[in-house]
Amino acid sequence: MKKINLALAALLFTTTMNAQNAPQLRADNIDEVLAAMTLEEKAKLLVGGANNFFSDGAVVGGEASLVAGAAGTTAAIPRLGIPATVLTDGPAGVRINPTREGTDKTFYATGFPIGTCLAATWNTDLVRKVGEAIGNETKEYRCDVILGPGMNLHRNPLCGRNFEYYSEDPLLTGKIAAAYINGVQSQGAGVSAKHFAVNSQETARTHVDERVSARAARELYLRGFEIAVRESNPWTFMASYNRINGIFSMGNLDLLTKILREDWGYKGIVMTDWIGIREGLRTIDEVIAGNDLMEPGQPKQAEEIVAGVKSGSLSIEYVDRNVRRMLEYIVKTPSFNHYPATNAPDLKAHAQITRESATEGIVLLKNNGTLPWNTDGQKIKTVSLFGENSYEFFSGGTGSGCVHTPYVVDMVEGLKNIGISSSDVLTDIYRKYIDYAKVKFQAERHPAKWYQMEMFGQQKYPEIAISPICIANEVKKADAAIVTIGRQAGEGVDRDIEGEFNLTADERQMIFDVCNAFHAEGKPVIVVINSGSVIETSSWSGYPDAILCAWQPGEEGGNSVADILTGKVNPSGKLTMTWPVAAADHPSTKNYPGSIDLYTYNELKTNGREVPNYDYTNHDEGIYVGYRYFDTYGREVAYPFGFGLSYTTFAYSKPQVTQKGEQIEVKVTIKNTGKVAGKEVAQVYVTAPKGSLDKPAKELKAFGKTRELKPGESETLTMTLQRRDLASFDEGQSAWVVDAGNYLFQIGANVSDIRATANLNVKGMVEKTTTAFAQK
Ligand code: BGC
The DSSP annotation for 573-612 comes to ---SS-EESSGGGSGGGGGS--S--HHHHHHHPPTT---B
40: helix, coil or strand?
helix
Ligand 1 centroid to Cα of residue 7, in Å, is 47
Specify the residue with its C-alpha closest to ligand 1, atom 8. 273
Q: Under 8 Å CB-to-CB from 708, ≥6 apart: which residues? A: 570, 677, 678, 679
Mutate to test the pocket of ligand 1, among 60, 74, 89, 403 (most ligand atoms within 8 A of CB): 89
Contact present, 612 and 202 (Cβ < 8 Å): no
- For residue 194, the ligand 1 atom closest to its alpha carbon is 9
- For residue 95, the ligand 1 atom closest to its alpha carbon is 12
- For residue 205, the ligand 1 atom closest to its alpha carbon is 8
Give the single-character DSSP code of 99. Answer: B
Ligand 1 contacts (CB < 6 A) are: 53, 71, 89-90, 147, 194, 273-274, 400, 491
The pLDDT value given to residue 65: 57
Contact present, 92 and 115 (Cβ < 8 Å): yes
Amino acid identity at 161 = R
Mutate to test the pocket of ligand 1, among 60, 400, 402, 453 (most ligand atoms within 8 A of CB): 400
Give the single-character DSSP code of 4. Answer: H
Ligand 1 centroid to Cα of residue 42, in Å, is 25
CA–CA separation, 412 vs 419, rounded Å?
A: 11
Ligand 1 centroid to Cα of residue 274, in Å, is 6
Contact present, 695 and 761 (Cβ < 8 Å): no
Ligand 1 centroid to Cα of residue 234, in Å, is 17
Question: Which of these, 458, 480, 492, 456, lies nearest to 528 by C-alpha position?
Answer: 480
User: Phi, psi at residue 686, to the nearest 5°?
Assistant: -125, 135
Assign residue 705 a region (left: φ > 0; alpha: ψ between -120 and 50; beta: otherwise): beta
- For residue 192, the ligand 1 atom closest to its alpha carbon is 10
CA 489 vs CA 159, 202, 492, 595: distances in Å:
9, 11, 9, 14
CA–CA separation, 131 vs 688, rounded Å?
A: 35
How many C-beta neighbours within 10 Å does residue 127 have? Answer: 30
The pLDDT value given to residue 597: 60
Contact present, 486 and 157 (Cβ < 8 Å): no
Rounded to the nearest 10°, the torsion over CA 169, 172, 177, 179 is: 180
Question: Which residues carry out catalysis?
Answer: 273
Contact present, 228 and 174 (Cβ < 8 Å): yes
Neighbouring-strand partners of residue 718: 667
The pLDDT value given to residue 2: 47
How many C-beta neighbours within 10 Å does residue 759 have? Answer: 11
Contact present, 581 and 537 (Cβ < 8 Å): no
What's the distance, CA 22 to chain centroid?
Answer: 42
The pLDDT value given to residue 449: 86
Which residues in the chain land under pLDDT 70? Answer: 1-20, 50-65, 595-609, 776
Give the single-character DSSP code of 254. Answer: I
**pTM score of the predicted model:** 0.95
The pLDDT value given to residue 11: 47
Specify the residue with its C-alpha closest to ligand 1, atom 5. 71
User: What's the pLDDT tens digit per position in 475-495?
Assistant: 999 999 999 999 999 999 999
CA 634 vs CA 107, 695, 698, 771: distances in Å:
51, 14, 12, 34
Contact present, 720 and 763 (Cβ < 8 Å): no
Q: Is the peptide bond before 519 cis (omega within 30 degrees of 0)?
A: no
CA–CA separation, 696 vs 751, rounded Å?
A: 12
The pLDDT value given to residue 451: 86
